[in-house]
């Protein structure tokens, strides 16, 4: 092993130590440089961490993005999902930064091999940045254009081998797990009243019933405000990143983080997106989407600016969050 390559990160021995170090730029820089070297890419002058992330991410001043996958915090599953997604998305007409390299920092190691992917940097700025500076007409145009991108994403052929194959059980298994845990989780998160949460068990259908007759599509389950990139001048969607939460599943699931996190429950933006996606909006849309809100894998209400704690009626909550009719 060349002398400038560091030994494996022995400081990471548990979920807790990983959580403490996962976004530390000085800690991860040597491993980011190693990944770029192993991928045959130019050595950068500097690397930076763009912000909070589940997996360590470093952006090089050369335009490369290194993503490392540890053995903690679902790292193996995240690596498998993102690798599969890039294989399925290759050659599709989508603003997905190309994959530049992949490998393992320590292949053949008796310990964790530390797999990595290297992608190009997405152009433009994040939706979160854009929504803070763009005027209302630009926001609505971008939302409508992202609807068209979402429609194309949902049309990508499901040619994967695990989560992204048409008969994959992964999505249904996820919803089943979430159905069992959602009431307890929402009580802990504290955005909703106990009186409303007492009604959720009866409100949610059986997962098999919910998905009956579903034609699965490519679902990106984490379309939050920093996973979507846009150009406010050209009013174009320029980047779609982070494919660790992808499924062959129900397209409605992909709207949850997008609307409640990226759009912060702005129903006018949602309506523009649905228009751009040519989405058929049935009378049951609001309640259907509330079902997927409760079945989503994340704390999806944390960016909603409305105080929801006084609502006790399921229908009222559905209308406040999702009514676009």
Q: Per-residue pLDDT tens for 301-323?
A: 999 999 999 999 999 999 999 99
73 or 149, which is more confident: 149
Examine the domain organization and report whether 134 and 231 are in the same domain. Answer: yes
Q: Above 50 in pLDDT, residue 143?
A: yes
Three-class secondary structure of residue 117 per DSSP: strand
Asked if the structure places residue 4 within a domain, the reply is: no
End residue of a domain, out of 82, 97, 120: 120
Catalytic member of 93, 222, 242, 288? 222
Distance CA 273, CA 230 (A): 14
Report the C-alpha gap between 240 and 202 in whole angstroms: 36
Output the six-digit token pair for 101. Answer: 């390299």
The number of angstroms, rounded, from the C-alpha of 46 to the middle of its chain's C-alpha atoms is 27
Q: Say yes or no to pLDDT of 1 above 80.
A: no
Q: What is the pLDDT of residue 25?
A: 86
Partners of residue 42 on adjacent β-strands: none
Question: pLDDT (tens digit, 9 = 90+) per residue, 233-262?
Answer: 999 999 999 999 999 999 999 999 999 999
* Strand 217-220 versus strand 228-231 pairing type: unpaired
Binning pLDDT at 50, 70 and 90, where does residue 2 land? Answer: very low
Identify the bridge partners of residue 59 per DSSP, sorted by sequence position. 48, 65
Q: Based on the fold, state whether residues 129 and 116 are members of the same structural domain.
A: no
Q: pLDDT tens digits for 169-186?
A: 999 999 999 999 999 999
pTM: 0.93
Indicate if 133 and 266 belong to the same structural domain. Answer: yes
CA atoms within 13 A on the CB side of 44: 21
pLDDT tens digits, one per residue of 36-94: 999 999 999 999 998 888 889 999 999 999 999 999 888 899 999 999 999 999 999 89
Give the confidence band of 6 by pLDDT, cuts at 50, 70, 90. low
- Cβ–Cβ under 8 Å, residues 100 and 37: no
What is the percent of the chain where pLDDT is above 70?
97
Give the CATH number of the domain where residue 213 resides. Answer: 3.90.1200.10
Overall average pLDDT of the 217-228 stretch: 97
In this predicted structure, what is the pLDDT of residue 38?
A: 95
- Look at residues 93, 120, 147 and tell me which one is the last residue of a structural domain: 120
* Crossing angle for the helix pair 285-295 and 170-189, to the nearest 10 degrees: 80
Separation of alpha carbons 323 and 318, rounded Å: 7
Please give the angle made by the CA atoms of 250, 256 and 260, to the nearest 5 degrees: 170
Question: How many domains is the chain built from?
Answer: 2
Is residue 166 pLDDT above 50, yes or no?
A: yes
167 with 184, same domain: the answer is: yes
204 close to 294: Cβ distance less than 8 angstroms: yes
Apex CA 49: angle with CA 129 and CA 44, to 5°? 115
- Domain boundary among the residues 120, 142, 171 is at 120
- Asked whether residue 306 is domain-assigned, the answer is yes
Q: Is residue 299 part of a domain?
A: yes
Q: Is the same domain home to 92 and 133?
A: no
Which has the higher per-residue pLDDT, 53 or 158?
A: 158
222 tagged catalytic? yes
Centre a 10 Å sphere on the Cβ of residue 87 and count the other Cβ atoms it contains.
13
Secondary element (H or E) of residue 317: helix 314-322
What's the domain range around 294? 125-322
Looking at the domain assignment, is residue 186 inside a domain?
yes
**Confidence class of residue 4 from pLDDT cuts 50, 70 and 90?**
low
Mark whether 161 and 102 lie in a shared domain.
Answer: no
Q: Give, in order, the Cα–Cα distances in Å from 218 to each of 19, 51, 222, 309.
A: 30, 27, 12, 34
271-295, pLDDT tens digit by residue?
999 999 999 999 999 999 999 999 9
Residues 60 and 110 in one domain: yes
* Alpha-carbon span 59 to 47, nearest angstrom: 5
């Amino acid at each position: 092993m060349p002398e400038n390559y560091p030994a494996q990160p022995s400081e990471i021995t548990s979920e807790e130590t990983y959580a403490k170090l996962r976004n530390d730029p000085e800690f991860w820089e040597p491993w980011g440089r190693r990944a770029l070297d192993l991928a045959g890419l130019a050595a950068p002058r500097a690397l930076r961490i763009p912000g909070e992330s589940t997996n360590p991410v470093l952006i090089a001043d050369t335009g490369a993005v290194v993503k490392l996958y540890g053995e903690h915090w679902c790292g193996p599953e995240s690596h498998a999902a993102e690798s599969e997604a890039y294989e399925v998305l290759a050659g599709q007409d989508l603003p997905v930064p190309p994959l530049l390299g992949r490998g393992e920092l320590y292949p053949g190691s008796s310990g964790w091999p530390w797999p990595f992917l290297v992608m190009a940097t997405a152009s433009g700025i994040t939706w979160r940045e854009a929504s803070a500076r763009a005027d209302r007409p630009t926001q609505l145009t971008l939302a409508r254009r992202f609807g068209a991108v979402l429609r194309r994403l949902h049309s990508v052929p499901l040619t994967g081998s695990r989560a992204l194959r048409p008969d994959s059980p992964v999505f249904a298994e996820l919803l089943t797990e979430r159905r069992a845990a959602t009431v307890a989780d929402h009580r802990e998160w504290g955005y909703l009243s106990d009186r409303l949460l007492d009604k959720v068990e009866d409100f949610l259908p059986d997962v098999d019933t919910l998905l009956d007759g579903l034609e699965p599509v490519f679902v990106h389950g984490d379309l939050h405000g920093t996973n979507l990139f846009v150009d406010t001048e050209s009013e174009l969607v320029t980047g779609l990143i982070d494919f660790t939460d992808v499924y062959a599943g129900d397209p409605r699931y992909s709207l949850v983080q997008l609307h409640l996190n990226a759009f912060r429950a702005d129903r006018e933006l949602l309506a523009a997106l649905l228009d751009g996606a040519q989405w058929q909006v049935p009378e049951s849309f609001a309640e259907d989407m509330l079902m997927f809100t409760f079945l989503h894998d994340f704390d999806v209400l944390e960016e909603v600016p409305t105080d929801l704690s006084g609502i006790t009626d399921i229908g009222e909550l559905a209308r406040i969050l999702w009514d676009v009719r």
